[in-house]
Amino acid sequence: MPAGSLSFGAVPVLRSRRPGLPRPFRVPLYPLLPVLYILASGMIMVALSMEKPVEAFWAFFTLSGGLPLYWVMNKWPRVSII
């Protein structure tokens, strides 16, 4: 999914997990706007995958290659350089 979709998808998750945090920005038409954006983004991705399946496969393969690196980096202890 594009980064925008992940950002919009994080809004309801963070609001439910941490309801007490201050909200410096209010999302207009919440929760309708994030849901519509995620649905539209998903439809665009499906359409692109149907139009150019080879390119979509390689894009997915390239992006999913970062998952093992993410898992390895999460296992190591965090070191502060400041």
* pLDDT in single tens digits along all 82 residues of the chain: 566 777 888 888 888 999 898 888 888 888 898 889 889 988 988 998 999 999 989 988 888 888 888 888 888 777 767 6
pTM, 2 dp: 0.64
* Structure token digits, residue 76: 């190591």
Q: How many domains does the chain have?
A: 1
Q: Which residues 6+ apart lie within 8 Å of 27 measured at CB?
A: 11, 33, 34
Judge whether 28 lies within some domain. yes
Cα separation, 62 vs 64, in Å, equals: 6
Judge whether 81 lies within some domain. no
Instruction: Say whether 18 sits in a helix, a strand or coil.
Output: coil
Q: In which domain, by residue range, is 43 found?
A: 3-75
